[in-house]
Amino acid sequence: MPSHKRLLLASGLLLALGFIGTAGYVLIEGAGWWDAVFMTVITLTTVGYREVVPLSRAGQFFTVVLLVAGLGMFLFLATDIARTVIEGELRLVLGRARRSRMIERLSGHEIVCGYGRMGRAVVAELLRSERSVVVVEREADRIAALSEAGVPFVSGDATSVETLQQANIASASGLVACLNDDAHNVYTVLTARSLNARLFIVARATAAEAERRILQAGADRVVNPYQIGGNRLAHMVVKPTIVSFFDASLRGDTDLQLDQTVLRAASPLAGVSLAEADVRRRWGLGIVAVQRKGEVLQSPPADFVLAAGDVLIVFGTRGQIRTFDEACGERDTASRG
């Protein structure tokens, strides 16, 4: 039986015992209702202050039974309260230890700092993309929401070295700083970059001047939600069909998708030109762009020679992309360069 139901049951039995004791003194000794309540209370609580009515042999026997029952009931209630408190504390401790062990075993995961409206959207998209996520949050109501949703989290300040280490930042692949304050995002980026030089960091900035500071702090990308929101509203008016298509592609609502993959060292395409690779015929894909060492070449020519580590932006169906990945690519952080 759940602990709260046990507590309700014990409380109900205690109240019932109080009612039985009051009725018993009224019926056995002919006491007034208030005197009967007083006798019941001092008997159940073992105070024994004084008897307000003389007790007959039957009344004395009833008092003994009431006293023993009351003691047992109080002990049961006290034990259940203590057990509920201890179980709750133990559950918290064990849950914290379990989360810590699970986070320590993670590798290549994403850390999301802040679980406000934007943080929730980031976490939802990462989970939809089947990425491992650890959230850093310090607000109690948001932590409760994370716990209920079963999302791994660390309770603490995202600007703290200790907190980010608890999130296993050394083994993380990326970090998203989406705190409500630009200054905190700057400090979070600085701290994260000092702990993991290879980390791919994306940060939110609400003020235009903050974008430069966040980039200087070590972020790889900075997102201004207001600017992006304005651009998106304008594009929805001017190019609604294109926006709807790309949205559906990114969400996975359509079979045709834009995706990216990194050519692995042993890929059969490494060292051959696009014309020789013949990706369209072999896999049915179109290569939209190629990224190499941070530079993006759009619509690469047929004589462009591919190399291991190139990031290919491809367009095709899910099945075609999956087959191509298995044959030539790998999914890793290099695609974020």
- What CATH number does the domain containing 119 carry? 3.40.50.720
d(CA 94, CA 207): 42
* Most confident stretch, 27-31, 119-123, 322-326: 119-123
> pLDDT-based confidence at 84, cuts 50/70/90?
low
Are 130 and 177 contained in the same domain? yes
How many domains is the chain built from?
A: 3
Q: Are residues 204 and 260 in the same domain?
A: no
Confidence at 2, pLDDT banded by 50, 70, 90: low
Indicate the average pLDDT of the chain. 84
Q: Let me know whether 125 and 204 are in one domain.
A: yes
**Phi and psi at residue 220, to the nearest 5°:** -85, -35
Looking at this protein, which amino acid is placed at residue 88? G
> Residues 203-229: what's their mean pLDDT?
90
List, for residues 6-56, the tens digit of each pLDDT value.
667 777 877 888 888 888 888 888 888 888 888 888 877 777 666 777 888
C-alpha to C-alpha distances, 9 to 13, 62, 76, 84, 243, nearest whole angstrom:
6, 24, 11, 14, 59
Does residue 72 share a domain with residue 32?
yes
**79/156 same-domain check:** no
Nearest to 241 by CA among 222, 254, 228: 254
Q: Which two tokens stand for residue 125?
A: 């998209």
122: in domain: yes
Q: Is the domain of 22 the same as that of 116? A: no
Show which of 42, 69, 101 is a domain's final residue: 101
Query: Is residue 265 over pLDDT 90?
Result: no
Query: Is residue 335 over pLDDT 50?
Result: no
Q: Are residues 277 and 203 in the same domain?
A: no
Task: Give a yes or no: residue 35 inside a domain.
Answer: yes
H-helix or E-strand containing 140? Answer: helix 140-149
- Residue 29 belongs to what domain range? 3-101
Domain assignment present for 242: no
pLDDT for res 22: 87
3-state secondary structure of 235: helix
| Selection from 64, 179, 46 nearest residue 111 by Cα | 179
Q: Which residue has the higher pLDDT, 67 or 255?
A: 67
**Same domain for 216 and 112?**
yes
**End-to-end Cα, the chain, rounded Å:** 54
Confirm whether 130 is domain-assigned: yes
Q: Within this chain, do residues 136 and 203 fall inside the same structural domain, yes or no?
A: yes
Per-residue pLDDT band at 239 (split at 50, 70, 90): confident
Tokens 């979070």 locate to 188
Domain end position, chosen among 62, 81, 101: 101
- Under 8 Å between Cβ of 133 and 151: yes
Whether residue 237 is contained in a domain is answered as no
Say whether both 116 and 193 belong to one domain.
yes
Pair 204, 221 in one domain: yes
Is residue 121 situated within a structural domain?
yes
Return the sign of the alpha-carbon dihedral for residues 112, 116, 119, 123: positive
Helix H or strand E segment including 40: helix 33-44
| Domain boundary residue, one of 229, 244, 277 | 229
pLDDT digits (tens, 9 = 90+) for 217-230: 999 999 998 888 88
Residues 119 and 224 in one domain: yes
SS3 166: helix
Report the alpha-carbon distance of residue 131 to residue 151 in Å, rounded.
12
Domain presence at residue 247: no
Q: What is the pLDDT of residue 334?
A: 43
Note whether residue 189 is domain-resident. yes
* Total-model pTM: 0.59
